[in-house]
Chains A and B, each alone.
Chain A
């Protein structure tokens, strides 16, 4: 048992060692070892500020998106005519890759922070919408039937049944959306006018500083992982009753 617990950590350690090994064997322009990357990262003075700025864009876009996507998704899941009316359009819009909107966003919002927020909004909107609508449609009918048998008022049904039953999928929607938002931020910072993390990344790429590039890539990956694990942790604490 303890060995199996240790395996993921061993795997991560082995992966880092492999990274170090490959990095040392290949020329530094192509790939750089883990140690050089970490060193480079620690010596990037602009990093904390850039992360904070990126997080600001991320949260703004994410919240704007969630405020529209979650209620709309919920309504699409609960009210049949809303679903039938919105579903075809949403399916169509969802089929367009978010990055394809970038030239359009430039026309509308320019190259700077408004545009980056917009790409974050688009990146996480449809994921949250679909999850919220699927979740709302699948709320256990028996729970609602119980509420009806006890002649609960609409308000009481909502507070005692619908809201608690929605918590799990709302959390899932937020988690998936937030991970997408991380991707959205870095996409915007690279493809629009370079800023924050994207700017550091492109500056390093222009100087063929592979260690610097890998450092930012690792930062973005860790950011995504932290966001995901953080929300999973929050979910486990808030939704104690859902735990098996």
Chain B
């Protein structure tokens, strides 16, 4: 029954889109049938495939850097009052700052090469990783830490045996949000310098038909869904006993 409703939701959406597309014409809104045909064409073009793959590399590298910086930083902020007081104002400032606004100065600083995209990715995803890890670190149950201390565990042991398992769901939630933002910002960065996915989108925007544009959006959507659900699966596989945390902490 539930499956039926879900499928019918998607079906109604597609039918409405098809009707709207046919009545408005492909120049304004290509119907899904055209978009599927275009997707097939996209899949056979080696050039486009390579471009899409290459666009993923800076997202992955930037995301890795964000995790490597953000997770320890968030944990430290959550456990140390001084670090929190010192860093929190900056974190709340940076997390509300739109990366798009920083892009022009980044272009002056690092040029428009591969590392430019990586920098944009890091600058847009690292704050989410930090703040999510921070939420987890603040909420570590005091009693668990006290048990560790009562049994004379060293700081390293407490970190490994108590804090890390307690933080785990938050680390994963942070990683998920970070990855979603990483993919978003790759597209943003590439739209500024018109390479990779951004370049493809720009080119498709010039077409008479919007079919190619919509096909690219579907591809990007697929990448985003695979990324966020893939990490959810990895989390479940690594630590099946953990509940996932609400991502919007």
Contact = CB atoms under 8 A, between A and B. Distances in A.
Interface footprint category on B: 35 or more
Interface string B218-246: 00111111001000000000000000001
B93 A30 contact: no
Contacts of A7: 82, 85-86
Contact of A216 (B28, B92, B94, B101): B101
A29 B81 CA distance: 38
Q: B-side binding surface: helix, strand, loop or mixed?
A: helix
Contact of B108 (A182, A183, A213): A213
A89 B201 CA distance: 22
Interface string B93-109: 11011111111110111
B108 A8 contact: no
Contact of A11 (B85, B100, B214): B85
Contact of A220 (B8, B10, B97): B97
A221 interface: yes
Interface stretch (B62-70, B143-151, B181-189): B181-189
B142 interface: no
Interface footprint category on A: 35 or more
B248 A130 contact: yes
Interface stretch (B32-40, B152-160, B164-172, B202-210): B202-210
B22 interface: no
B107 A205 contact: yes
Interface in A135-150: none
Q: A-side binding surface: helix, strand, loop or mixed?
A: helix
Given A4-B85, A97-B224, A228-B92, A205 B104 contact: yes
Contact of A191 (B27, B100, B223): B100
Residue among B9, B13, B94 with max Cβ neighbours from chain A (10 Å): B9
Contacts of A104: 205, 210, 213-214, 217
Contact of B89 (A8, A101, A213): A8
A112 interface: no
B90 interface: yes
Contact of B9 (A10, A85, A108): A85
A207 to B, nearest CB: 11
A179 interface: yes
B220 A85 contact: no
Given A7-B85, A201-B101, A225-B93, A95 B213 contact: no
10 contacts: A8-B89, A81-B5, A84-B2, A88-B6, A96-B220, A103-B201, A187-B188, A190-B104, A225-B93, A228-B96
Interface of A: 4, 7-8, 10-12, 15, 29-31, 81, 84-89, 91-93, 95-104, 106-108, 130-131, 134, 176, 179, 182-184, 186-187, 190-191, 201-202, 204-205, 208, 210, 213-214, 216-217, 220-221, 224-225, 227-228
